[in-house]
């Protein structure tokens, strides 16, 4: 008691504060995604400034955007969200095969997306230095590609853990959080694809 | 303002949100195929539609009355939770108390809470908690002080979940006492 009173008197940094309004883990993920949206928002602001305010032709002639390749890539990424969902549904039903197969397929499709994007960069015919259009194109798709890379790293660890039997119907928080991130990356790609390639 | 459901609360909800985004994307692609500006208009409508949908979705637990905290205390113990506002000079606890926790909410203005400038308020609360802890200290009784949430009711509820208590003494207004009574099953009295 006295020791506790002494402890209160000590000089120390403020105690971490949280309450039952929201669980710290949920709040952390929520703040993380909010910061991600702001990060992407900054890049989209640059995009709209270049394209709408500045009136830069999109794509700037003589360049062309590989819309079809990007569409196929979009289909691959969207499908990977379905396999991710399948993985989580499987672990909830205590089906380790579904979990492992789902995560492995998700990882492979994510990797295919990233490799295809790399190939697209090498063949697209312009570099980031070739004007505002090219810079914004690489910034937006590159920023998203970086997120896919992070998502793949998370998926890799999730897959390894799944093959080692770390998850079951009661304990699969790692798959849940990774799944939220992967779907978020997928949603962001749809927005990037629509704004950069379609509109 | 109506609460907005977090679409990324769980993997299942994130997946559902993704499906909604895919549907919206197909509408935008179809409109953009006809005319770019039609696509932009469709995108704006889609964003508005998604926000509207999220606002219509019921927020889990929002409509239900909050569940009362029901503590379990071993026989022979009598835990007392004291909820005191910053600046409270003294309180008295029953003689039969075996363990006492004093929680002082770090009351902050909306501006302070929004900007995170709550350090001074937490220091005030800590000083009150320290003073009351010293005042309540007596042999055989475990007394400790804590700084709680920025709302006295929430501070009481938080502490109840971690500490439990057989009774709650509140050094605050009647409205606070009534609100705490609505959240717990143990006796609550004003001191």
The reply to whether B93 falls in a domain is: yes
Looking at residue B60, what is its pLDDT?
Answer: 62
Q: Where are the alpha helices (DSSP H) in B57-172?
A: 110-115, 119-136, 152-163
The reply to whether B20 falls in a domain is: yes
d(CA A194, nearest CA chain B) in Å: 7
pTM of the model: 0.64
Domain count along chain B: 2
What single DSSP character describes residue B66?
P
Pick the residue from chain B with its C-alpha nearest to A197: B29
Q: B92 and B167: one domain?
A: yes
| Range from A53-57, A62-66, B128-132 carrying the lowest mean pLDDT | A53-57
Q: What is the DSSP string of A143-155?
A: HHHHHHHHHHHHH
Burial of B78 (0-12, 13-18, 19+ CB in 10 A): middle
Looking at residue A61, what is its pLDDT?
Answer: 83
End-to-end CA gap in chain B:
35
Average pLDDT over chain B, rounded to an integer: 85
The reply to whether B69 falls in a domain is: no
Q: pLDDT tens across A110-127, in order?
A: 999 999 999 999 988 888
Best mutation site among B5, B15, B146 for testing chain A: the one with the most A CBs within 10 Å?
B15
Query: Residue A70: left if φ>0, alpha if ψ -120 to 50, beta else—which one?
Result: alpha
Q: Where are the alpha helices (DSSP H) in A49-130?
A: 67-92, 96-123
Q: B154 and B97: one domain?
A: yes
For the record, the structure tokens of A173 come out as 């928080």
Task: Determine whether the interchain pair A4/B154 forms a contact, defined as Cβ–Cβ distance below 8 Å.
Answer: no
pLDDT at A76 over 90: yes
Q: How far is B169 from A177, CA to CA, in rounded Å?
A: 40
Reported in sequence order, the residue ranges of chain B that DSSP labels E, i.e. its strands, are 79-84, 99-105, 142-148, 167-171, 188-190
Task: Determine whether the interchain pair B154/A20 forms a contact, defined as Cβ–Cβ distance below 8 Å.
Answer: yes
The domain of B34 spans: 11-56
What average pLDDT does this structure show over A23-44? 78
Burial of A160 (0-12, 13-18, 19+ CB in 10 A): exposed
Looking at residue A2, what is its pLDDT?
Answer: 43
Q: B108 and B44: one domain?
A: no
Q: B184 and B122: one domain?
A: yes
Task: Determine whether the interchain pair B28/A15 forms a contact, defined as Cβ–Cβ distance below 8 Å.
Answer: no
Q: B85 and B167: one domain?
A: yes
Looking at residue B50, what is its pLDDT?
Answer: 84
Q: B89 and B35: one domain?
A: no
Q: B147 and B103: one domain?
A: yes
Q: B88 and B22: one domain?
A: no
CATH of the domain at B88: 3.40.50.620
Q: How large is the greatest C-alpha to C-alpha distance in chain A, in angstroms?
A: 78
% of chain B with per-residue pLDDT over 90: 31
Of B133, B82, B124, nearest to A4 by C-alpha is B133
Task: Residue B142: list chain A partners with CB under 8 A.
Answer: 1
Tell me whether A5 touches chain B (CB under 8 Å): yes
Task: Residue B14: list chain A partners with CB under 8 A.
Answer: 179-180, 183-184
The reply to whether B49 falls in a domain is: yes
Q: B85 and B173: one domain?
A: yes
Average pLDDT over chain A, rounded to an integer: 85
Tell me whether A7 touches chain B (CB under 8 Å): no
Where residue A150 falls among pLDDT bands split at 50, 70, 90? very high
Q: B108 and B45: one domain?
A: no
Q: pLDDT tens across B134-190, in order?
A: 999 888 888 999 999 888 998 998 888 888 889 999 999 999 999 999 888 889 999
For the record, the structure tokens of A110 come out as 């994510």
Task: Determine whether the interchain pair B11/A2 forms a contact, defined as Cβ–Cβ distance below 8 Å.
Answer: no
Task: Determine whether the interchain pair A199/B122 forms a contact, defined as Cβ–Cβ distance below 8 Å.
Answer: no
Q: B128 and B186: one domain?
A: yes
Q: B43 and B116: one domain?
A: no
Q: pLDDT tens across A153-195, in order?
A: 999 999 999 999 899 888 888 898 899 999 999 999 999 999 8
Task: Determine whether the interchain pair B28/A194 forms a contact, defined as Cβ–Cβ distance below 8 Å.
Answer: yes
What b/e sequence results for A71-105 when a residue is b if at least 16 CB atoms lie within 10 Å of its CB, and e otherwise?
eebbebbbbbbbbbbbbbbbbbeebeebbbbbbbb
Task: Determine whether the interchain pair B28/A29 forms a contact, defined as Cβ–Cβ distance below 8 Å.
Answer: no
pLDDT at B41 over 80: yes
The reply to whether B45 falls in a domain is: yes
Residue A70 φ then ψ, to 5°: -65, -35
What average pLDDT does this structure show over B38-56? 86
What single DSSP character describes residue B184?
B
Give the neighbor-by-neighbor strand order of the sheet with B188-190.
B142-148, B99-105, B79-84, B167-171, B188-190
The reply to whether B173 falls in a domain is: yes
Looking at residue A53, what is its pLDDT?
Answer: 82
């Amino acid at each position: 008691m006295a020791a506790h009173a002494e402890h209160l008197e000590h000089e120390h940094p403020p105690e971490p504060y949280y309450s039952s309004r929201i669980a710290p883990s949920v709040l952390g993920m929520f703040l993380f995604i909010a910061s991600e949206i702001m990060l992407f928002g900054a890049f989209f602001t640059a995009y709209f400034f270049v394209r709408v305010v500045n009136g830069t032709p999109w794509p700037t002639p003589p360049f062309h955007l590989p819309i079809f390749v990007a569409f196929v890539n979009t289909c691959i990424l969207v499908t990977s969200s379905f396999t991710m969902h399948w993985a989580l549904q499987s672990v909830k039903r205590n089906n380790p095969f579904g979990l492992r197969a789902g995560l492995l397929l998700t990882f492979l499709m994510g990797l295919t997306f990233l490799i295809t994007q790399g190939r697209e960069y090498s063949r697209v015919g312009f570099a980031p230095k070739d004007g505002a259009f090219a810079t914004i194109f690489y910034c937006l798709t590159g920023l998203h590609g970086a997120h896919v890379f992070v998502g793949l790293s998370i998926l890799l660890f999730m897959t390894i853990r799944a093959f080692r039997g770390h998850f079951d119907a009661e304990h699969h928080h790692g798959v849940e959080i990774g799944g939220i991130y992967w779907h978020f990356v997928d949603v962001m790609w749809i927005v990037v694809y629509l704004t950069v390639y379609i509109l | 303002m109506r609460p907005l459901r977090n679409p990324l609360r769980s993997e299942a909800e994130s997946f559902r949100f993704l499906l909604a985004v895919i549907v919206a994307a197909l509408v935008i692609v179809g409109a953009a195929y006809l005319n770019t500006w039609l696509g932009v208009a469709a995108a704006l409508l889609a964003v508005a539609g998604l926000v509207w949908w999220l606002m219509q979705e019921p927020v889990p637990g929002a409509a239900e009355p909050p569940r009362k905290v029901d503590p379990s205390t071993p026989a022979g113990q009598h835990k007392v939770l004291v909820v005191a506002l910053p600046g409270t000079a003294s309180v008295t606890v029953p003689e039969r108390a075996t363990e006492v926790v004093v929680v002082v909410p770090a009351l902050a203005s909306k501006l302070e809470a929004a900007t995170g400038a709550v350090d001074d308020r937490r220091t005030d609360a800590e000083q009150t908690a320290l003073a009351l802890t010293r005042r309540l200290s007596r042999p055989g009784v475990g007394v400790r002080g804590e700084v709680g949430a920025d709302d006295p009711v929430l501070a009481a509820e938080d502490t109840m979940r971690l500490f439990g208590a057989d009774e709650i003494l509140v050094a605050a207004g009647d409205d606070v006492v009534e609100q705490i009574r609505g959240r717990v099953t143990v006796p609550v009295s004003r001191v």
